[in-house]
């Protein structure tokens, strides 16, 4: 199983394992190493965090198998153990877990259940396929019908803890390393979510270094300056919305 050290992840990502509750989103394109980062987080929770808790994962497919160490871990595979993410999440909530990993937050029902779980005292890790933290928040709000959007903004502002965006870059010596965007829900970011000012989140991340935040661009520039990654063929930065 991968460790934070092997994956060369920023320490702030490990710190997110200490949140007692709330929603943490991992986002990035397919094949950007999201499930590997999440596996490192579950490994840390299970072995080093000092937590003795019940973890349920819902995955499609299961990529890493965990043994119970300090935590009791139940892994479910969509298609084999359960019909869909939302079915599995609904039944997981009846089993009194402390921590839930949702492999894909794609449909309205799964997103709704994940938000409710985070709001009712669970620590929830979910993955999405967007290119930035701001786009993840947009995607969640867009999933809901018009009349519910304000309620969802309020729920997100309350229960979202952090968004971690990833893309893999080549290392000069071969192999890959993740460039990482980190958004942490400071009071300023909570207000932006509540007040429907998602486009301003990018600059809040850019100027939030003292809280441990960084944009994807800032991290890529840092990695390039230190010679830790090769320059991408062309920079495919998303717009800042």
How does pLDDT run across 88-139, given as a tens digit for each residue?
888 888 898 999 999 889 889 899 999 999 999 999 999 999 999 999 999 9
Whether residue 232 is contained in a domain is answered as: no
Whether residue 134 is contained in a domain is answered as: yes
Q: What is the CATH number of the domain that holds 96?
A: 3.40.50.300
Whether residue 235 is contained in a domain is answered as: no
Q: Taking residues 141-153, what's their average pLDDT?
A: 95
- pLDDT at 233 (0 to 100): 74
Sorting pLDDT into bands at 50, 70 and 90, what band is 240?
Answer: very low
How does pLDDT run across 181-224, given as a tens digit for each residue?
999 999 999 999 999 999 999 999 999 999 999 999 999 999 99
What contacts 24+ positions apart, CB below 8 Å, involve 77-82? 78/103, 82/58
- pLDDT at 132 (0 to 100): 95
- pLDDT at 80 (0 to 100): 84
- pLDDT at 234 (0 to 100): 54
Whether residue 85 is contained in a domain is answered as: yes
How does pLDDT run across 34-91, given as a tens digit for each residue?
999 999 999 999 999 889 999 999 998 999 999 999 999 999 998 888 778 888 888 8
Whether residue 236 is contained in a domain is answered as: no
Whether residue 174 is contained in a domain is answered as: yes
Task: Give me the sheet containing 72-77, strands edge to edge.
Answer: 72-77, 54-59, 99-102, 123-128, 22-27, 160-170, 176-184
By DSSP bridging, strand 160-170 and strand 176-184 are: antiparallel
The model's pTM: 0.92
Domain count, the chain: 1
Whether residue 72 is contained in a domain is answered as: yes
Please, what's the b/e burial string for 76-95 (b: 16 or more CB within 10 A of its CB; e: otherwise)?
Answer: bbbeeebebbbbbbeebbee
Give burial (CB, 10 Å; 0-12/13-18/19+) of 173: exposed
Q: For residue 118, which of 48, 19, 230, 184 has the smallest C-alpha distance?
A: 19
- Asked if pLDDT for residue 152 goes beyond 70, the answer is yes
- Asked if pLDDT for residue 238 goes beyond 90, the answer is no
Whether residue 241 is contained in a domain is answered as: no
Give the structural domain span for 58: 4-225
């Amino acid at each position: 199983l991968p460790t934070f050290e092997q994956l060369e992840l920023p320490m702030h990502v490990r710190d997110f394992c200490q949140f007692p509750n709330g929603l943490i989103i991992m986002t990035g394109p397919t094949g950007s190493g999201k499930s590997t980062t999440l596996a490192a987080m579950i490994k840390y929770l299970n072995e080093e965090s000092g937590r003795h808790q019940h973890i349920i994962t819902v995955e499609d497919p299961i990529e890493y198998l965990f043994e119970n160490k300090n935590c009791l871990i139940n892994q479910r595979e969509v298609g084999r153990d359960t019909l869909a993410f939302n079915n599995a999440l609904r039944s997981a909530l009846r089993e009194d877990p402390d921590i839930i990993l949702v492999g894909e937050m794609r449909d309205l029902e799964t997103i709704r259940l994940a938000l409710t779980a985070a709001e009712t005292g669970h620590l929830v890790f979910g993955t999405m396929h967007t290119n930035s933290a701001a786009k993840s928040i947009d995607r969640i709000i867009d999933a809901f019908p018009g009349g519910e959007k304000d309620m969802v903004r309020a729920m997100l502002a309350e229960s979202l803890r952090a968004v971690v965006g990833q893309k893999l870059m080549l290392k000069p010596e071969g192999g890959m390393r993740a460039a990482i965007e980190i958004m942490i829900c400071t009071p300023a970011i909570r207000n932006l979510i509540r007040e429907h000012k998602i486009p301003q989140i990018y600059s809040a991340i850019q100027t939030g270094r003292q809280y441990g935040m960084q944009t994807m661009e800032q991290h890529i520039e840092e990695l390039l300056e230190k010679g830790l990654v090769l320059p991408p063929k062309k920079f495919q930065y998303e717009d800042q919305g």
